[in-house]
Amino acid sequence: MTIDIGRFSEAPSSDVEETGADSGQEQKPPELVYGSAEEFLHEQLLPTYVRDVDGRAAKWCLEWYFHPEAVSRVEALWRAWEHLRLDGATGISVWFKDHADHHMSVLLDPRGPFYKCDMQKHRDPEHMEPQKAPNGWFPDVRVR
């Protein structure tokens, strides 16, 4: 039986121009495999990162896109995957160890971003409403 582990095993596509450092031409970045974080979630992440989501040991919200933290973490997972898939040696290991295992543990944690949701119903997360610090405590350090 062969298990499809996604597109990590593919070599970079041949439409990436190989140019020498002396040629003065810029190398075109590799094309993305997925056009969005949502496509990545449905086509790559969830089919390969399979867990028993029972609501007690792991939670997920079917309307995950209403959770800003989840959107940000899925976006981070997608971008890291697109970069690391090009490393045919250790890319898949690095992606799982440093990215998927970390972010998915947070996302699936029963006390994580989906803590109020259950498998049948989305419930809006409660957002922290911090007060603004007094003027001058955190000056804008951007150069103007």
On whether residue 38 sits in a domain, the answer given is no
Per-residue pLDDT tens digits for 31-88: 999 999 999 999 999 999 999 998 889 999 999 999 999 999 999 999 999 999 999 9
CB 53 within 8 A of CB 119: yes
Give the pLDDT band (50/70/90) at residue 121: confident
Q: What domain range is 63 assigned to?
A: 52-122
Residues comprising the chain, all counted: 144
pLDDT at 23 (0 to 100): 60
Please check whether residue 47 lies inside any domain of the structure.
Answer: no
Residue 61: inside a domain, yes or no? yes
pLDDT band for 12, please (50, 70, 90 cuts).
very low
Q: Looking at the domain assignment, is residue 77 inside a domain?
A: yes
Total number of domains constituting the chain: 1
Do the beta carbons of residue 58 and residue 111 sit within 8 Å? no
Identify whether 6 is part of a domain: no
- Helix (H) / strand (E) containing 101: helix 101-108
pLDDT, residue 34, reads 98
In a domain, 143, yes or no: no
Residue 127 lies in a domain: no
